[in-house]
Structure 1
Amino acid sequence: MVTPSPREYRDESASVKTTSDTGRRSRILRAAIDDGLLHPEHAPLAAFVDWGRLNLNVQHLMHAFPAHISTLHAFAVKANSLVPVLTKLREFGMGAEVASNGELAAALEAGFAPERIVFDSPAKSWQELRRALALGVSLNIDNFQELERVQQILSEAPSTSEIGIRLNPQVGAGDIAAMSTAGVHSKFGIPLEDPGMREKLIETYIANPWLRRAHTHVGSQGCPLPLIARGVNQLVRFADEVNIRAGFAQIRTLDIGGGLPVDFETDTPTSAFDEYVAVLGEGAPRLFSGDYALVTEFGRSILAKHGFIAAYVEYTKQVGGRDVAITHAGAQIATRTVFMPEAWPLRIEGFTHSGHAKSMGHTVVQDVAGPCCFAGDLVARGRELPPLTPGDIVALLDTGAYYASNPFAYNSLPVPGVYGVSMIGDSADTVPEFSIVRKAQMETELVIAAE
């Protein structure tokens, strides 16, 4: 058995600067202003995805896992369901993990083959199950009632889908309760440690030999790697037990979910996939035995750090002795940060109206507010930033996942444009090239949507 070492995989990003990408963002902003993608009147808010850095991170993930293990890295579509983003991820070699009919439609539109799509959801409808099984999409069954539905559908028509059951290993929660899915009372999966449940699950697998997979997901941001490894180890132990009791290798694939915490403090362009693999090698050593194919479901750790949102400062004021910058970026695109600021803080950078970085030589304590009509619409509280003035630009960093791609329709604010960025090299004269990921929404479209 090969136990992966983190040192094996660090060379993938060795040539990339990891201290600050402020200059790179400045070049993107200046080019976006020149191209009219950012404008104080016509386009005061826009989001950008850096294709080159995204590809670098995907390749880093693929190199982190041992080459002798068949592994499908399925991107969690909920993190960014925009079809051009999904198309790029497919081109970079990823599969897709979906949790609704809408996400499945987006993945198919992006060109993912059904056999490279995994369907997770605790509330799959009859229609969703029939569609997935007809297409040959893989399924992770959430509960025994869903299993009965799948059995009925399979009795009516065969399917090429790979099917398994989601297990809750009940190993505990991380720092963010809402992001933890392996607690005692989690809504997801079948609880492995509840009285009598382990035996019932094993008997269910043996009675249904077409169940050839097993799945777990411990949680997302806030879950330490050893906790994730404990949950995965429980999954491997369960699969081994089923296969021993069945007398053959019935479970062939283990879906270990995602959940790698994201570094929201630096510009390091690659996520800690090598460290993740090393911790799994120590905490769940049978995982890399070669007896099982693997599926992963990373989302935020793939994309978060490779996107940012830019917004013009409309007004500034002083309130209670503190400076406040009112911008066009708020709860409508930074929903988690606004409503759970302690759990989801964002780095903020200041730029001039022309897109040049503002000096950090002199800073003042400021709030950065959004446009939504409620008092808590703040993306940063008491933050030390260069003094901001009307016409400046603020950049919300690490927002490639779960931000501009998942808008909140508060105040009927228009959805901002999202643009892919291609850059060859990091030199000062590199000219970014843009592609449209999603057009900025027009007011007429808002009216139509409301009818």
Structure 2
Amino acid sequence: MAPPLPDTAPPTPRQRVRAVMRRAAADGLLGEEQPVAGFLDAEGIRSSVRDLGAAFAHVPDVLHTFAVKAASLVPVLRMLAGLGMGCEVASPGELRLALDAGVPPSRIVLDSPAKTPHEIREALALGVAVNADNLDELRRIDALRPEGCTSVVGLRVNPQVGGGSIGAMSTATTTSKFGVALRDPGMRERVVRAFAERPWLTRLHAHVGSQGCPLELIAEGVAQTYRLAEEINEGLGTRRITSLDIGGGLPVNFGDDEIRPTFAEHARVLAAAAPGLFDGRYGLVTEFGRSLLAKNGFIGARVEYVKEAGGRRIAVTHAGAQVATRTVLMPEAWPLRVGAYDSDGRPKGGTPVRQDVAGPCCFAGDVVARDRELPALEEGDFVVLYDTGAYYFSTHWAYNSLPRPAVHGFGADPSGSVRLATVRSAQTLDEIAAESGLAHAGALAGLGAQERS
């Protein structure tokens, strides 16, 4: 019998995590046989989508797409499609996942800086919207666009408004690899000419960045794109540009349970920077990802050993770089909160002690938290990595051939009992072997130097 959620009032996110951890430990979803797993809060996802819709409810024509890279799991995409969302995809694999999830091609947007002719041809044949990353790609589309094509085609521009606190996540710097650099000599004029020459080119796209980018920086990039659209339409004497793809990029608060900034705050800052953006003359497309799922998921992992080295207490767990790659490789930019739970999945008590929380990967830097004050972890306990619903467990790194973890969705019955459903099964050793080229095991043996006759 599943343990009830603690209160009769709607449970808080932290209360839901505690109930799920108890259920997972009791049912063996976490334990010796399954030492790490990801968990997604279905109601939390629904709430985030509702908040997004409400923030843009005053916009007459808006398509909210989910950035598939943030959770490349078909059940997640299918759920979001059922809530009215489309998908933003950046590879053939992501496009396939969106289609398999039942997302209509007309509600899919293809973004990528390196689209092959085959990818472009397929997207245009399906009616998927395509944002060209550069002017050379537009020339490819000139040749590949079929007669009667229904795809909306846009051009990504880089407003070059600068970067945020995480350089790797800032896509509107002076030298960003994305989009057409508007402030480079002659490039703005070339963009205007590209629209004048192509009646089917009807969308402008810009994405300033995500984590580490303040709302004002994002809004300035969108505002400059809006002003460019106005300039092009006025210069051509017609509404050539009919929609703006304003990207996503809302940063996530990883410091506590509070959701900040909110989608409503983001919309208010956008409206202040570009007052005409929401007046209905342009259709809008958004591409949010992390901000929809990060706080609606967590990782649970078993503590395998606890040791001391140089006076430092170290808990060795099964959650490391394979599921928390960014946190391990860039800990200052991507810190995570860690929770301590006992072997029954209950929050641990006791006096906090300073300790490291390390992962299972075979390199010294595989540490997800350093010198944290937590109740003393012991063998068989569990740790929880909060705010990891986006990217972390859904975008597994196969270092050391560690298996992809299982992912489970959770919800609650009206009675308060936890319900769990498998979103993705844990990868088996047979699957790892098959994906490593087992079927071609002898391929290299026959490539050595041939013996001379």
Q: State the TM-score bracket (shorter-chain normalisation).
A: over 0.9
Paired residues of 1:271 and 1:301 also in contact (CA < 8 A): no
Q: For residue 411 of structure 2, what is the aligned residue in structure 1?
A: 422
Match of 2:233 among 233, 237, 243: 243
Aligned 8 A contact 2:252 2:259 in 1? no
Select the residue among 252, 273, 282 that pairs with 1:262: 252
State whether residues 75 and 101 of structure 2, in contact with CA within 8 Å, keep that contact through their aligned partners in structure 1: yes
2:357 aligned with 1:368: yes
Q: 1:398 to 1:328 in 2, by over 3 A?
A: same
1:67: Cα distance to partner? 2.5
Matched, 1:445 2:434: no
What is residue 275 of structure 1 aligned with on the other side?
Answer: 265
C-alpha distance 278-424 of structure 1, shift in aligned 2 (>3 A): farther
Contact 1:351–1:357 (CA under 8 A) maintained in structure 2:
yes
The alpha carbon displacement at 1:16 in A equals 6.4
- 1:317 positional shift: 0.9
**Given the alignment of the two structures, is residue 402 of structure 1 paired with residue 391 of structure 2, yes or no?**
yes
Offset at residue 365 of structure 1 (A): 0.7
Q: Distance in 2 between matches of 1:137 and 1:163?
A: 9
CA contact (8 A) 2:26 2:344 kept: no
Contact 1:176 / 1:222 at 8 angstroms: preserved in 2?
yes
Check whether the contact 1:58–1:92 (CA below 8 A) recurs between aligned residues.
yes
- Whole-Å Cα distance in 1 between the matches of residues 354 and 274 of structure 2? 46
Displacement of 1:200: 1.1
Q: In structure 1, what is the equivalent of residue 308 of structure 2?
A: 318
Residues 283-309 of structure 1: per-residue CA shift (max 9 Å, x gap): 121211211110000000010110100
In the TM superposition, residue 230 of structure 1 has moved relative to its aligned partner by 0.6
Structure 1 counterpart of 2:365, which letter?
G
Distance in 2 (CA, whole Å) between partners of 1:424 and 1:246 is 57
Task: Measure the CA separation in 2 of the matches of 1:231 and 1:160.
Answer: 28
1:211-269 CA-to-partner distances (Å, cap 9, x unmatched) read: 11000000010001111111001000000011111111111100000101101112235
For 1:449, the aligned partner's letter is E
CA radius of gyration, larger in: 2
Aligned residues: 429
What residue ranges of structure 1 are gaps of 5+ in the alignment? Answer: 1-14
> 1:44-443 residue pairs with structure 2 within 5 A?
44-154=35-145, 156-268=146-258, 272-359=262-349, 362-424=351-413, 430-443=416-429
CA distance in 1, matches of 2:355, 2:39: 25
Deviation readout 1:138-194 (Å, 9 max, x if unpaired): 01000111111100012x533100001000000101110000000000000001111
Q: Are the structure 2 counterparts of residues 193 and 199 from structure 1 closer, same or farther at C-alpha, using a change threshold of 3 Å?
A: same
Identity fraction in percent: 54
**By how many angstroms is 1:23 displaced?**
2.5
Q: How far apart are 1:436 and its partner, in Å?
A: 1.2
Measure, in 2, the Cα distance between the counterparts of 1:277 and 1:391: 46
Counterparts of 1:354 and 1:209, CA distance in 2: 63
1:21 aligns with 2:7: no
What code does the residue aligned with 2:33 have? Answer: H
Which residue pairs with 1:10 in the alignment?
none
- Larger displacement relative to structure 2 (208-217 or 280-289): 280-289
One-letter amino acid matched to 1:435: A
Q: Give the whole-Å Cα distance in 1 for the aligned partners of 2:10 and 2:185.
A: 51
Offset at residue 397 of structure 1 (A): 0.6
Name the CA distance, whole Å, in 2 between partners of 1:47 and 1:303: 12
Aligned equivalents of 1:118, 1:308: Cα separation in 2: 28
Large movers: runs of 4+ above 6 Å: none
The alpha carbon displacement at 1:42 in A equals: 0.8
Aligned CA distance change for structure 1 residues 28 and 269 (closer, same or farther; 3 Å): farther
Query: 1:34 is matched with which residue: 18, 26, 31?
Result: 26
Matched residue, 1:7: none
Matches of 2:84 and 2:279, distance apart in 1: 24
One-letter amino acid matched to 1:65: F
Q: Distance in 1 between matches of 2:413 and 2:310?
A: 47
CA RMSD of aligned residues (A): 1.4
Once residues 267 and 47 of structure 2 are traced to their aligned partners in structure 1, the CA distance between those partners, rounded to angstroms, is 18
Asked whether the equivalents of residues 413 and 419 of structure 2 are also in contact (C-alpha less than 8 Å), the reply is no
SS at match of 2:227: helix
Distance 1:68 1:233 in 2: 16
Asked if the contact 2:252/2:260 (under 8 Å) is kept, the reply is: no
Flag structure 2 segments of 5+ consecutive residues without an equivalent.
1-8, 439-453
